[in-house]
Structure formats: structure tokens, C-alpha cells
């Protein structure tokens, strides 16, 4: 799956970057299809830098990222709001999910559900 959107290099200490990216995306797009927030090209783990891109499969933005096929652990977000997504990530950071830090993504479906897909080792 190829997602096109605007990409930035950031880390989890820069929460303003995420809010700004979402604000820009929502100003430029109507939400009529699934939206993906993709985290990739990790320097190390959740404490290091990574690429962050918000987009859709049908966007015409300048940056793109391919979500590779592979094994993913799916973390369901309980409520459809930014606070719940942030809380889910905090729980993930303190969980024992065997993450590979390859490509992770949030999938915002048009039905209002949100799931976070975490890349994990296919050997488990």
C-alpha cells in the first residue's frame, strides 16, 4: 500500500510537529477516505528520530511511503479523538510488544475506528 502525503523528520519529544501536520492535512483535505499516519525510517526505537507522514492512498502530495507487507500487531484505539490516540501510544511504549521499528501506522477508517499497526518480527 502506498500512502502519499507531507513528510517530516521528527521524534516523540516534538508533539507540536504532529499537531501541525494534522492541522495542515485537515485544512487541505476532505475526509472522504481512510487516512494513514505513518512512522518509518526509525533511527532506533520510539526515543529516536523517524519520518512521519500523514496521507491517503489517493492523494497527490509530493511525498510517499510504502507500507510493506509483513507481520503487524494491531492495537485498537478505544475512542475516536486525539487524546485517546496519544494515550494508546503511551501504553504501547510501556508494553512488551516485540516491535521491530520498521514501519508503524495509524489507520483512521471512514467508519470512525482507529487502529495502530506495529511492525513486529515474523519469527514470533
- Tell me the CATH number at 73: 3.20.80.10
User: Which residues partner with 103 through β-bridges?
Assistant: 40
Per DSSP, 86 falls in state H
* Dihedral of the alpha carbons of 70, 112, 94, 14, in degrees to the nearest 10: 100
Q: Is residue 75 in a domain?
A: yes
CA distance linking residue 11 with residue 9, whole number of Å: 7
- In a 3-state reduction of DSSP, which class is residue 38? strand
What is the pLDDT averaged over residues 21-46?
91
- In a 3-state reduction of DSSP, which class is residue 9? strand
Q: Is residue 124 in a domain?
A: no
pLDDT at 90: 95
Distances (CA, A) of 70 to 11, 18, 50, 58, 123: 24, 26, 19, 22, 11
Q: Range of 47's domain? A: 2-119
pTM, rounded to two decimals: 0.92
The three cell numbers of residue 42 are 526509525
Residue 91 · residue 47 · CB < 8 Å: no
Confidence of residue 123 (pLDDT cuts 50, 70, 90): low
- Report the number of distinct structural domains present in the chain: 1
- Residue 37: pLDDT above 90? yes
Q: Is residue 20 in a domain?
A: yes
What is the pLDDT averaged over residues 10-39?
90
Amino acid at each position: 500500500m502506498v500512502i502519499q502525503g507531507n513528510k517530516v523528520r521528527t521524534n516523540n519529544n516534538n508533539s507540536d510537529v504532529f499537531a501541525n501536520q494534522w492541522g495542515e492535512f485537515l485544512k487541505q483535505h476532505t475526509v472522504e477516505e481512510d487516512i494513514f499516519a505513518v512512522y518509518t525510517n526509525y533511527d532506533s526505537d520510539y526515543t529516536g528520530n523517524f519520518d512521519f507522514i500523514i496521507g491517503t492512498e489517493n492523494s497527490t502530495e509530493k511525498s510517499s511511503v510504502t507500507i510493506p507487507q509483513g507481520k503487524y500487531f494491531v492495537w485498537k484505539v478505544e475512542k475516536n479523538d486525539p487524546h485517546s490516540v496519544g494515550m494508546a501510544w503511551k501504553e504501547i511504549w510501556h508494553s512488551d510488544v516485540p516491535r521491530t521499528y520498521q514501519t508503524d501506522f495509524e489507520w483512521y477508517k471512514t467508519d470512525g475506528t482507529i487502529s495502530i499497526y506495529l511492525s513486529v518480527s515474523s519469527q514470533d
